[in-house]
Amino acid sequence: MAERGEREAFVTLATNDTYALGCLVLGNSLKQRARTTRKLVVMVTQGVSQSMRNQLARVFDMIYDVNLLDSRDSANLQLLGRPDLSVTFTKFHCWRLTMFEKAVFLDADTLVLQNVDELFDREELSAAPDAGWPDCFNSGVFVFRPSEETYNALLQFAMAQGSFDGGDQGLLNMYFRDWATKDIARHLPFIYNVVSQAFYSYLPAFTQFKDSVKIVHFIGATKPWHHPYNTTTKEVTPLPETGHNKDYLQIWWDIFMTFIQPTLDPSLKEQMGGLIGELAALSLESGATYGGSQEHLSEQERKLNWERGQVDYLGADKFENIEKKLNKSMQGPAASSKTYAASPFKNISVTSKATEQKQPPKE
């Protein structure tokens, strides 16, 4: 029988090049920092470019092509404030990796700080509590057993029920609904999925236990690659109000600048522009600063941040833009460019290539 190292794998997902950057840092954290002995798999959709796939192939043992699965459940996703998360149903493809006996799924915005290979001793479905509602598990880190049967059952369930948050986490919590009560062994300790803002709700606990944290999760619309980084001081400056812990962001950027950025093809700047192009063109010698941005936030996410008191005064929320918006609204509803009507769709659908291309890559 094959070694466990062959039969077990860590799995992650990217539907576009920006999340693929996250996968690259995650993969490197598993290999260089945590020294895992298990296989690394990244699931990708057509939204990931060939050049990014070549990068991923340097770190991951397997690049697994999947179709985009989209919940299109905009009504529930609005509750979460993250319209971009409808594509997270694509995660369910991980159950089809039946060449492995057991696997651990990790979101592309997680970072592994210490070896976590002991997770493979747990059973399906093991996960850590969600910091926002601890009777639900957070689906950014979970242990599972690949099985076509489970994959089909999940899709059936999705079509019958929909997801209460419009993304994978709501659905998985309904499908594995006895997680909170049945078996404490399936409750992973919080150190396996510490949201990087948790300290602000319980700072003394963070101070006490921070050295035992094994996996950090940068949940929310602002990700590590959105924060400004200075190539002279080699320091990241956390965007104010995101609540992200600076030490963890710094580890993310150290891995990125050491193992990934030097290997990015500088011609990516011309080919791709945007955030990836800018990152590819960064050079430690030039003393350039990567500006970071909140430009990636949708109008809805900005609204949510605004309501939380997180206002982007220098960018999208600057007075000039607010004034423009006020003028537009005063001209009546026909002039307003966006409305957020609740969608009647609750079902999932496997999107065609054409629909998939309509989704702009989220940067």
Task: Tokens 């400004």: give the residue.
Answer: 228
Confirm or reject binding of residue 88 to ligand GLC (CB under 6 A).
yes
Binding mask 97-126 vs ligand GLC (x if CB under 6 A, - otherwise)?
Answer: ----------x-------------------
CB of 360 to ligand GLC, least distance (A): 19
* Helix, strand, coil percentages in the chain from 3-state DSSP, rounded to 5: 45, 15, 40
Sole binder of Mn ion in the list 17, 84, 109, 278 (CB under 5 A): 109
| Helix runs in 81-213, H state only | 148-161, 168-175, 203-209
CB 103: neighbour CB atoms within 10 A? Answer: 26
Q: Nearer to ligand UDP by C-beta: 34 or 172?
A: 172
Task: Tokens 């996250």: give the residue.
Answer: 22
Confirm or reject binding of residue 170 to ligand GLC (CB under 6 A).
yes
CB of 31 to ligand GLC, least distance (A): 22
Binding mask 6-25 vs ligand UDP (x if CB under 6 A, - otherwise)?
Answer: ------xxxxx--x------
Sheet holding 215-217, edge to edge: 110-112, 215-217, 194-195
Confirm or reject binding of residue 84 to Mn ion (CB under 5 A).
no
Q: Which of 220, 240, 244 is nearest to 82 (CA)?
A: 220
Confirm or reject binding of residue 297 to ligand UDP (CB under 6 A).
no
Residues numbered 83-112 forming contacts with ligand UDP, rule: CB under 6 A = 84-85, 87-88, 107-109
CB of 170 to ligand GLC, least distance (A): 6
Residues numbered 115-144 forming contacts with ligand UDP, rule: CB under 6 A = 140
Residues numbered 111-170 forming contacts with Mn ion, rule: CB under 5 A = 140
Confirm or reject binding of residue 362 to ligand UDP (CB under 6 A).
yes
Sequence-ordered strand ranges (E) for the chain: 8-14, 39-44, 62-65, 69-70, 102-106, 110-112, 126-129, 137-144, 194-195, 215-217, 229-230, 235-236, 289-290, 349-350
State the Cα angle at 210 between 167 and 104, rounded to 5°: 40
CB of 158 to ligand UDP, least distance (A): 16
CB 45: neighbour CB atoms within 10 A? Answer: 21
Interacting residues with Mn ion (CB under 5 A): 107, 109, 140
Residues that bind ligand GLC (CB under 6 A): 85, 88, 107, 138-140, 165, 167-170, 219
Given the rule CB under 6 A, which residues bind ligand UDP? Answer: 12-16, 19, 84-85, 87-88, 107-109, 140, 219-220, 362
